[in-house]
């Protein structure tokens, strides 16, 4: 009788706890209480006050979201909640399996409970009972089948939790569709998830079935993207010379023509374009406006690397098809067009993001920079100072970007350019291009740099050694120069760097000598860049 009362007390406690507010900490700790609330930047739990920066999410007793820092944190919080549910459910089923004389099932359930955080002492108690049951033996009871069915449903605990939260927000708004998408990624065939998707998706969606619509809505429509009209000239040309199934998307300053139907891929391309436009516009906003009607960033988005390498999308032949073999995108000034593709594997995404930022920086500086009009551009292939073109684009490429939050940080302690300068300076200083030569190179002379011979260097942020050609070294010395001019000495040379960009594009050759632009000779500037690379390697960071 006493044991039964103890079990009832535990069940009553769990029932009450389930109806209390809940907060999930970043260490996986789960706090519950009837008076749990959010107060400014703090979590209030009775007399206790905790900083919200240590919390993933806070929910009310009925599952209504009270607070979370962002969607990523919220989904991480649900992982911990689901883990707790699995732990408690598996431990309860293990106890019932012991009573039903099913030691094998009970042992499997204890293992599941342990993997999800069951305390060692509680697991030991259950294992002791299982061992006694094995020694005693006896026929299993009829309820074992139902217990086994309940155990087989445990893996769906996480997706069930997500769908329940998404369904609640189906009424209240918020991030419900994002949560539903996360659920369907976990289990695309989960009946409750598919039923909710059927409720929220349009009855007819011309680009495919419900899950395609969900990605499309969250990645494209939620960003403000709209289909280009059928008679749009770029779309008509693409259908004639490239893909008959091409369609177009317009989102603010971004115009994309593509045959890609994956909403996530199209959404990533839009997000990169919007982010580059905003980041660069913020850098040049202090200049007098010379361009009143900037051109859109026109992008051809290819479905794969193979398609990107095989066609221009306009019926034209590539001017240098061999060059495409080592690119992940390129901007064509003659056509006013960037050609990109996107790979969805997480590791590939990071590389693709940098490539897209690089090419769209070239694109933006020519066609959208308000600091000079299109007819003021005077770039010449034999003009010195070409380092700023590839250096500034590589500098932007190596920033830290959050596509969903649309935020950016242009200092990246793990950026390749400074790291490579520091590494080559130590191991192979003769591989570096002489700084006066680097700053004096024209585009025409840049194209003659060696692409074949490679210099080895020891990587600081990854295992093993890398090898870089003279062309790659040019990119990184140029980018490292931009890093120094932008960040060092509390941004002392930042305005001069941006002025240099404008002067190069508008053909003011007399201002492109480093001694005129920055008050430093080419040798002095190069030495400063090397010292800056060394300081960053030793822990220098810009002050906030």
In a domain, 419, yes or no: yes
H/E element, 220: none
- Residue that has been written with the tokens 């598996």 in this structure: 90
- Same domain? 342 vs 412: no
Of the pLDDT bands very low, low, confident and very high (cuts 50, 70, 90), residue 10 is: very low
Give the lowest-confidence range in 8-22, 163-177, 264-278, 526-540. Answer: 8-22
Domain boundary among 324, 346, 368: 346
pLDDT per residue as tens digits for the range 392-413: 999 999 999 998 889 999 999 8
pLDDT band for position 4 (cuts 50, 70, 90)? very low
**Of residues 484, 522, 530, 518, the one with CA closest to residue 391:** 484
Give residue-wise pLDDT tens across range 302-340.
999 889 988 888 888 766 655 666 688 999 998 999 999
341 and 419 fall within a common domain? no
- 227, 427, 474, 528 from 459: Cα distances, Å: 45, 11, 18, 22
The token duo for 240 is 């004639």
Domain for residue 180, yes or no?
Answer: no
Distance from C-alpha of 525 to C-alpha of 391, rounded to nearest angstrom: 14
Are residues 17 and 150 both part of a single domain? yes
Residue 24 lies in a domain: yes
Give the pLDDT of residue 486: 98
Which helix (DSSP H) or strand (DSSP E) does residue 32 occupy? strand 30-33
CA dihedral for 504, 509, 515, 516, sign (positive or negative): negative
SS3 state at 530: helix
**% pLDDT > 70, the chain:** 93
3-class DSSP state of 450: coil
Residues 231 and 323 in one domain: yes
Q: Is residue 355 part of a domain?
A: no
Q: What are the start-end ranges of the E strands in 192-322?
A: 226-227, 247-251, 254-258, 297-302
401: left (phi over 0), alpha (psi -120 to 50) or beta: beta
Residue 202 lies in a domain: no
pLDDT, residue 506, reads 96
What is the DSSP annotation of 136-198?
A: H--PPPTTHHHHHHHHHTGGGHHHHHHHHHHHHHHHH-SSHHHHHHHHHHH-TT-HHHHHHHH
Q: Are residues 314 and 419 in the same domain?
A: no
- Which range of residues forms the domain containing residue 293? 221-346
CATH number at residue 233: 3.40.30
Same domain? For 65 and 139 the reply is: yes
Per residue in 419-465, pLDDT tens? 999 999 988 899 999 999 999 999 999 999 988 888 888 877 777 77
State whether 429 and 509 are in the same domain: yes
Q: Judge whether 351 lies within some domain.
A: no
Angle at 151 between CA 147 and CA 153, to 5 degrees: 120
Q: In this structure, are residues 304 and 260 in contact, taking their beta carbons and an 8 Å threshold?
A: no
Q: Is the pLDDT of residue 138 over 70?
A: yes
Domain boundary among 346, 362, 393: 346
* Domain final residue, candidates 131, 158, 185: 158
Pair 26, 149 in one domain? yes
Tell me the percentage of the chain whose pLDDT exceeds 90: 65
Residue carrying structure tokens 């609330």: 37
Assess whether 340 and 423 both reside in one domain: no
Let me know if residue 184 belongs to a domain: no
Q: What is the pTM of this model?
A: 0.79
Residue 206, domain member (yes or no): no
Residue 484's nearest CA partner among 408, 373, 410, 544 is 410
Number of domains in the chain: 3
Among residues 179, 95, 215, the alpha carbon closest in space to that of 143 is found at: 95
- Nearest by Cα to 414 from 435, 427, 400, 393: 400
pLDDT digits (tens, 9 = 90+) for 338-350: 999 988 777 777 7
């Amino acid at each position: 009788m006493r044991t039964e009362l103890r079990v009832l007390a535990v069940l009553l406690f769990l029932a009450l706890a389930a109806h209390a507010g809940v907060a999930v900490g970043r260490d996986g700790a789960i706090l519950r209480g009837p008076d749990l609330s959010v107060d400014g930047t703090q979590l209030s739990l009775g007399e206790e006050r905790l900083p919200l920066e240590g919390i993933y999410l806070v929910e009310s007793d009925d599952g209504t979201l009270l607070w979370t820092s962002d969607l990523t944190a919220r989904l991480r919080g649900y992982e911990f909640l689901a883990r707790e549910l699995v732990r408690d459910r598996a431990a309860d089923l293990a106890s019932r399996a012991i009573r039903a004389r099913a030691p094998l099932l009970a042992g499997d359930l204890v293992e599941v409970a342990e993997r999800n955080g069951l305390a060692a002492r509680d697991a030991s108690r259950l294992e002791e009972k299982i061992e006694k049951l094995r020694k005693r033996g006896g026929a299993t009871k009829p309820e074992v089948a139902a217990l086994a069915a309940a155990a087989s449903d445990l893996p769906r605990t996480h997706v069930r939790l997500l769908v329940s939260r998404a369904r609640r927000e189906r009424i209240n708004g918020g991030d419900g569709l994002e949560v539903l998408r996360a659920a369907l990624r976990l289990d695309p065939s989960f009946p409750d998830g598919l039923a909710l998707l059927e409720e929220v998706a349009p009855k007819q969606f011309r680009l495919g079935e419900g899950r395609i619509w969900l990605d499309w809505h969250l990645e494209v429509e939620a960003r403000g993207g709209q289909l280009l009209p059928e008679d749009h000239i770029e779309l008509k040309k693409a259908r004639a010379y490239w893909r008959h199934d091409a369609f177009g998307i317009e989102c603010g300053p971004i115009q994309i023509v593509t045959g890609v139907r994956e909403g996530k891929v199209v959404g990533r391309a839009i997000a990169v374009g919007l982010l580059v436009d905003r980041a660069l516009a913020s850098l040049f906003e202090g200049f007098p406006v010379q361009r009143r009607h900037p051109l859109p960033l026109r992008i051809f988005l290819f479905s794969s690397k193979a398609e990107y390498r095989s066609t221009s999308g306009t019926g034209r032949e590539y001017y240098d098809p061999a060059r495409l073999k080592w690119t992940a995108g390129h901007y064509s000034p003659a056509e006013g067009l960037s050609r990109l593709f996107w790979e969805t594997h997480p590791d590939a995404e990071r590389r693709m993001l940098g490539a897209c930022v690089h090419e769209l920086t070239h694109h933006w500086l020519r066609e959208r920079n308000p600091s000079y009009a299109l007819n003021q551009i005077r770039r010449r292939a034999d003009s010195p100072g070409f380092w700023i073109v590839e250096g500034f684009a590589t500098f932007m490429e190596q920033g830290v970007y959050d596509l969903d939050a649309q935020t950016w940080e242009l200092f990246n302690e793990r950026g390749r350019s400074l790291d490579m300068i520091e590494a080559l300076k130590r191991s192979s200083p003769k591989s570096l291009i002489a700084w006066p030569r680097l700053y004096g190179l024209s585009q025409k002379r840049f194209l003659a740099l060696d692409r074949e011979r490679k210099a080895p260097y020891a990587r600081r942020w990854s295992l093993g050694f890398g090898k870089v050609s003279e062309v790659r070294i040019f990119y990184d010395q140029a980018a490292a120069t931009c890093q120094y001019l932008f960040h060092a000495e509390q941004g002392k040379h930042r305005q001069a760097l941006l002025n240099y960009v404008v002067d190069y594009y508008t053909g003011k050759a007399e201002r492109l000598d480093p001694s005129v632009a920055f008050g430093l000779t080419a040798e002095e500037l190069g030495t400063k860049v090397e010292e800056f690379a060394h300081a960053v390697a030793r822990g220098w960071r810009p002050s906030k």
